[in-house]
Amino acid sequence: MNTPAPTPAAPLSIEMRARIEALCRYIDAHAEQPLSLADLAAQARLSSFHLQRSFKALTGVTPRQYAEAARLRRLKAGLRSGESVTEAIVDAGYGSPSRVYERVATHLGMTPGEYRAGGAGSRISYAVEHTALGWLLMAATDRGLCFVHFGDSAQALIDRLAAEYPQAEISAMSEAARPQFQAWMAALATQLSGAASSAAGQLPLDLRGTAFQMKVWAYLLKIPPGELRSYTEVAAAIGHPAAVRAVASACAANRVGVLVPCHRVIRGDGGLGGYRWGLERKRALIDAERGV
């Protein structure tokens, strides 16, 4: 049974957009403080209901989700600046270290201590092969594929992976892991060629992002090969019709190319829009999936 499309929300007035944008700045400046919905509604001079509705329409997330993301950014900034883990946790407003480990580990992709050390202690294995669309690097943690990128050379891709995880233990695939990586590469190569295959869609993924990004990526995984959606359609489908730019940003932030098919999202006028690995590759992927 087809699910009816969400009813588009009325566009926000200029005044309402200004109030929400001002509230976002307020949350960013007070991320370490406990900010209840009632407190934020009073700050914006809105009822809790209208704040919740308008905030989500503009940003794509709830006030609570935005506040949690702001607090996480504060924590990351503290860890990167050289603060001790405890100092960074306290300065970001978390009640206790245990709470941090419970709530933010999935967004950091590692423990706060590992993040402060640039991924120290994390193990990432990779393989690089030349494909029909150029060099491709596929990297995985013990949870699944975390990094699938195209590039102009094998070394450039390895350097990019190292820059993403500067202190992680990064190594080429071991002999023991070679059969698994080869199977993953074969599944991906099949998809790159445009041949029908369900194998690529079953590969384990280790996706890390904000709540909104994860919602966008989850929807992208449901778009069948050969079909396209506009950024506007994706925004409406995930229940945030006003968050078109945020959808485009989430697509651009995707670290797992092809397998999370951001190439299947285009502009409403039929233009390709953007693609972090180049528009020629985006067009080639679309054409291959459509049998052109």
Q: Which of 56, 91, 116 is the last residue of a domain?
A: 116
Amino acid at 203: L
Instruction: Give the mean pLDDT of 225-231.
Output: 93
**Catalytic hit among 24, 146, 251, 262:** 262
For residue 262, indicate whether it is catalytic.
Answer: yes
Specify the pTM: 0.59
Q: Are residues 96 and 133 in the same domain?
A: no
Task: Determine the pLDDT at residue 12.
Answer: 76
Instruction: Kindly state the average pLDDT of the residues 180-207.
Output: 69
Rounded to an integer, what distance in angstroms lies between the CA atom of residue 144 and that of residue 124?
A: 10
Q: Which of 81, 116, 151 is the last residue of a domain?
A: 116
Structural domain including 168 reads 123-199
Looking at the structure, do residues 248 and 165 belong to the same domain, yes or no? no
Give 140-170 as a DSSP string: E-SSSEEEEEEESSHHHHHHHHHHHSTTSEE
What distance in Å separates the CA atoms of residue 175 and residue 122, rounded to the nearest whole number?
A: 19
Residues 142 and 215 both lie in one domain: no
Rounded mean pLDDT of the chain? 80
pLDDT band at 210 (very low <50, low <70, confident <90, very high): confident
Q: Is residue 232 a part of any domain in this protein?
A: yes
Q: Which helix (H) or strand (E) holds 186?
A: helix 178-192
Asked whether the beta carbons of 126 and 169 are under 8 A apart, the reply is no
The residue among 280 and 8 whose pLDDT is bigger is: 280
Is residue 290 within 8 Å of 261, Cβ to Cβ? Answer: no
